[in-house]
């Protein structure tokens, strides 16, 4: 993940929760896969902005992965609205997989 | 409760578009394997036999083409990074092909080229035109073009040429519109279909999907362009040589170019495999990679056929083995592997995409029975080898044993498809 967030404590909780969202094809969680780019927390409007990507733009599993991230954050942060922003700039590549993720794949 | 929003999500092809193609193809594989048992004796005779023609077209159109059409409606958006233009055209394509194929097969089986057989061929051509238009508009609307998409589009163009030529040959049976009989043109019809459609399509999609499934960093677009040029050049030269001159030496060049293209594709896959991050390769991908090795057998057999043609000898068993290795070998192997790499995800998505991270969900690969998959793979490999021995030996009993094994693999394939389709989520 690009270490961009406006609340490091909440971001750590969110990332911990997002570890439970698994890419069904690869079997690896979306955090270690490097799909989460940014997490921002707007305390005034109670909105969490999650900027993330997919391994490929028209990934057939895209909806389930983004729905998974949304469901997971909703359950973790009750009372917050979740705004998932899918971006493909920069596009995902294998270099974004964390060392833990690489170890899992090995 | 607040409403949640997701932006930037691309629209994928609906599973409703894709599934009918898969079901139809699975049933056609079963049908072709049953026909193989009851028509084994035809594989000891001349290759231009009603039963052989029926089995070949059931495999080429009903099995290979239908499943590739279905999968490509799902995968083309991944390749071109743009949505499929029209679900309606995809449905039209399915309906036209689904109606046309049985009519054509019935005609071949009874060696009856009446109006129904011709109507079947016309419907198949319509199906391909619908597919091609859908593909062309989808590509034109997409922001990004790449080598994989060019492979797929060119393959679809060759498919249309194949089916149009097939229609022409059908009319030529009843009214002599060509300068030679239809049997004379069969090699052109068959090779445009096998090389132009199947080989280009498999390479175009495989070169994108294999690195993607292996999570490989390897990509070599220049190499893929060389493969593309070699295949198309070889095919065009083969057609012109066949129609206007017929020098067997030129066919050697064509086979050499195709062999080189297959070798380069094998090299591409090997590099992707070596540079993969995902160390454990599943059975489905393994059988798909094995199919690349299966490509070598028809190449070797085609060299034998060219050498024989120098001496004006036509060996039926080599011709039959050549066709069998293409349709029951290479094409079937890649489909058996790739079906269980794509269909479980399509069906998983249908059932679980709203439940992701809400409740515990199974893995897509848990939707089918892996033991049944392994048994299917073993039955298929035994059947393939035994039937091939039967073709060369001319032993009807051996052919029947091989056909029964292939039939078993078709049953197991259909069982797993059925298991996936009726899968219901755990209500707990």
For residue A78, give the chain B residue with the closest CA. Answer: B1
- The pLDDT, as a whole number, for residue B387 is 95
User: Which of B357, B359, B360 is best to mutate for the A interface (most A CBs within 10 A)?
Assistant: B357
Chain A residues touching residue B3 (CB < 8 angstroms): 81
Within a domain: B273? yes
User: Which of B3, B8, B423 is best to mutate for the A interface (most A CBs within 10 A)?
Assistant: B8
- Low-confidence stretches of chain B (pLDDT < 70) are 1-10, 357, 427-428
CATH code: domain of residue A17: 3.30.300.130
Burial of B175 (0-12, 13-18, 19+ CB in 10 A): exposed
Within a domain: B357? no
Q: Does A59 touch chain B (CB under 8 A)?
A: yes
For residue B356, give the chain A residue with the closest CA. Answer: A68
Distance CA B154, CA B34 (A): 33
Within a domain: A2? no
Distance CA A66, CA A57 (A): 12
Provide the domain count of chain A: 1
CATH code: domain of residue B380: 1.20.210.10
Within a domain: A103? no
Contact across the interface for A67 and B215, Cβ inside 8 Å: no
Containing domain of residue B284, as a range? 15-348+365-419
Going from the C-alpha of B417 to that of each of B25, B147, B370, the distances in angstroms are 11, 32, 12
Residue found under tokens 């609205």:
A81
Minimum-distance CB partner of B277 among A65, A71, A94: A94
Within a domain: A104? no
Contact across the interface for B357 and A75, Cβ inside 8 Å: yes
Within a domain: B403? yes
Encoding tokens for residue A71? Answer: 């469901």
| Residues of B contacting chain A (CB within 8 angstroms) | 2-10, 12, 74, 77-78, 81-83, 212-213, 215-217, 277-279, 345-346, 348-349, 352-354, 356-358, 361, 363-364
Within a domain: A24? yes
A21-80 pLDDT tens trace = 988 888 899 999 999 999 999 888 889 999 999 988 878 788 889 988 999 999 999 888
For residue A50, which phi and psi values (nearest 5 degrees)?
Answer: -110, 115
Contact across the interface for B278 and A26, Cβ inside 8 Å: yes
Contact across the interface for A58 and B357, Cβ inside 8 Å: no
Alpha carbon of B84: minimum distance to chain A alpha carbons (Å): 10
Contact across the interface for A81 and B3, Cβ inside 8 Å: yes
- The pLDDT, as a whole number, for residue B8 is 63
CB atoms within 10 A of CB B318: 19
Within a domain: B427? no
B395-418 pLDDT tens trace = 899 999 999 999 999 999 999 999
Within a domain: A79? yes
Distance CA B155, CA B276 (A): 28
Within a domain: A100? no
Encoding tokens for residue A58? Answer: 């028209």
Within a domain: B355? no
Q: Is the pLDDT of residue A2 over 80?
A: no
Q: Does A106 touch chain B (CB under 8 A)?
A: yes
Provide the domain count of chain B: 1
Containing domain of residue A34, as a range? 8-95
Contact across the interface for B279 and A106, Cβ inside 8 Å: yes
Burial of B341 (0-12, 13-18, 19+ CB in 10 A): buried
Chain B residues touching residue A25 (CB < 8 angstroms): 213, 345, 364
Within a domain: A26? yes
ipTM of the complex: 0.77
Size of interface A-B (CB pairs under 8 A): 112
User: Which of A19, A20, A24 is best to mutate for the B interface (most B CBs within 10 A)?
Assistant: A24
Predicted TM-score (pTM) of this structure: 0.89
- The pLDDT, as a whole number, for residue B6 is 66
Within a domain: A101? no
- The pLDDT, as a whole number, for residue B3 is 45
- The pLDDT, as a whole number, for residue B69 is 95
């Amino acid at each position: 993940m690009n270490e961009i967030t406006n609340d490091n404590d909440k971001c750590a909780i969110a990332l911990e929760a997002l570890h439970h969202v698994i890419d069904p094809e690869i079997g690896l969680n979306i955090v270690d896969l490097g799909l989460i780019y940014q997490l921002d927390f707007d305390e005034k409007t109670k909105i969490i902005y999650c900027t993330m990507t997919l391994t490929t733009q028209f990934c057939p599993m895209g909806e389930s992965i983004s729905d998974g991230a949304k469901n997971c954050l909703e359950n973790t942060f009750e009372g917050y609205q979740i705004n998932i922003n899918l971006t493909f700039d920069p596009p995902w590549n294998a270099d974004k997989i964390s060392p833990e993720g690489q170890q899992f794949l090995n | 409760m607040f409403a949640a929003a997701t932006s930037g999500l691309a629209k994928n092809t609906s599973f409703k578009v894709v599934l009918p193609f898969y079901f139809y193809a699975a049933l056609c594989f079963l049908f072709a394997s049953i026909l193989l048992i009851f028509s084994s004796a035809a594989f000891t005779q001349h290759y231009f036999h009603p039963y052989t023609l029926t089995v070949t077209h059931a495999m080429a159109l009903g099995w290979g083409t239908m499943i590739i059409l279905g999968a490509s409606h799902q995968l083309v958006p991944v390749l071109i990074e743009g949505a499929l233009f029209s679900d309606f055209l995809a449905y039209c394509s399915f309906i036209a092909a689904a109606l046309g194929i049985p009519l054509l097969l019935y005609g071949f089986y009874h060696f009856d080229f009446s109006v129904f057989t011709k109507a079947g061929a016309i419907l198949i051509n319509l199906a391909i035109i619908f597919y091609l238009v859908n593909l062309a508009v989808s590509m034109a609307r997409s922001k990004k073009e790449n080598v994989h998409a060019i492979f797929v589009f060119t393959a679809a163009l060759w498919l249309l040429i194949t089916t149009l030529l097939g229609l022409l040959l059908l009319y030529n049976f009843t009214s002599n519109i060509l300068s030679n009989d239809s049997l004379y043109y069969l090699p052109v019809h068959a090779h445009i279909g096998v090389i132009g459609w199947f080989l280009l399509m498999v390479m175009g999609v495989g070169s994108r999907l294999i690195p993607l499934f292996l999570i490989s960093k390897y990509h070599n677009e220049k190499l893929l362009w060389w493969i593309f040029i070699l295949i198309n050049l070889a095919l065009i030269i083969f057609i012109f040589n066949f129609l206007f001159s017929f020098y067997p030496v030129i066919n050697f060049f064509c086979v050499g170019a195709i062999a080189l293209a297959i070798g380069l594709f094998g090299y591409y896959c090997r590099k992707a495999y070596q540079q993969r991050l995902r160390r454990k390769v599943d059975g489905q991908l393994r059988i798909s990679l094995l199919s690349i090795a299966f490509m070598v057998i028809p190449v070797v057999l085609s060299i034998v056929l060219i050498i024989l043609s120098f001496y004006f000898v036509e060996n039926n068993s080599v011709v039959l083995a050549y066709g069998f290795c293409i349709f029951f070998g290479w094409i079937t192997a890649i489909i058996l592997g790739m079906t269980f790499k794509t269909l479980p995800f399509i069906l998983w998505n249908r059932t679980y995409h709203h439940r992701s991270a809400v409740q515990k969900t199974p893995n897509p690969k848990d939707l089918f029975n892996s033991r049944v998959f392994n048994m299917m793979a073993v039955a298929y490999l035994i059947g393939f080898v035994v039937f091939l021995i039967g073709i060369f030996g001319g032993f009807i009993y051996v052919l029947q044993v091989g056909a029964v094994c292939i039939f078993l693999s078709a049953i197991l394939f259909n069982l797993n498809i059925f298991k996936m389709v009726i899968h219901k989520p755990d209500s707990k």
